[in-house]
Amino acid sequence: MTPPWANMKLMPIVSGVILLLAAYLGGFVGLSGEGTQEIDVPSCSTGISGLDICDKSAMLEQNVPIPDYVSQIVAVRVNVEWDQPDAWIGVVAASEADKCTNTGEGYLLCDTEDLDIMVGGPASSGHFDWPISGGDYRFVAGNSLDGSAQTTQVSYEYRATLTQTLTYGIALVGIALATYGAIRD
């Protein structure tokens, strides 16, 4: 039979070790994933004499809301690449939609030079890396293809970990609990 004092000493040690394991897995290992998506990229030539939409871009109608508190708990980084260098993808604040015209087809038509593109865009050379923070965002895309429409393969990777402050806080509590349990009489 185990003496009653042994269980009392063991609980803080086990709790501390569990917290240390959680800090390691959440803060250093994290969560990651990847995927691909094939997207049609239309030519910017409309076929109408004098009307070239290379200076236009298409913005999705729906916002991607990311709560502000998320960036205080989790650090998320997204890397996006595509195989057609003339096509581009970007991220803008949702408020940029005010500068665009609704097409009624699920996207907005924008003058690219009027947009404040946060990451990606025409100068992105086929990829961008986005450390996500709180806010409302929209995706925007465009191209400079004068020929026929093409298809581009978009690859993305993401990695999410606990923020360093939270990771070290959990680890310190775990160390304190394990130490307390080990030296407790």
Q: Give whole-number Cα distances, 127 to 78, 134, 137, 182, in Å.
A: 11, 22, 18, 51
- What is the pLDDT at residue 40? 64
Contact 36, 154 (CB under 8 A): yes
CA–CA dist 79, 86 (Å, integer): 18
Q: Which of the pair, 178 or 37, is modelled with greater confidence? A: 178
**Kindly report the CA angle at 58 between 54 and 62, in degrees rounded to 5?**
170
Task: Give the model confidence (pLDDT) of 77-99 as tens digits.
Answer: 999 898 877 788 889 999 999 99
pLDDT at 48 > cutoff 50: no
State percent of the chain over pLDDT 90.
Answer: 32
**Mean pLDDT calculated for residue range 61-65:** 87
Q: How many residues does the chain have?
A: 185
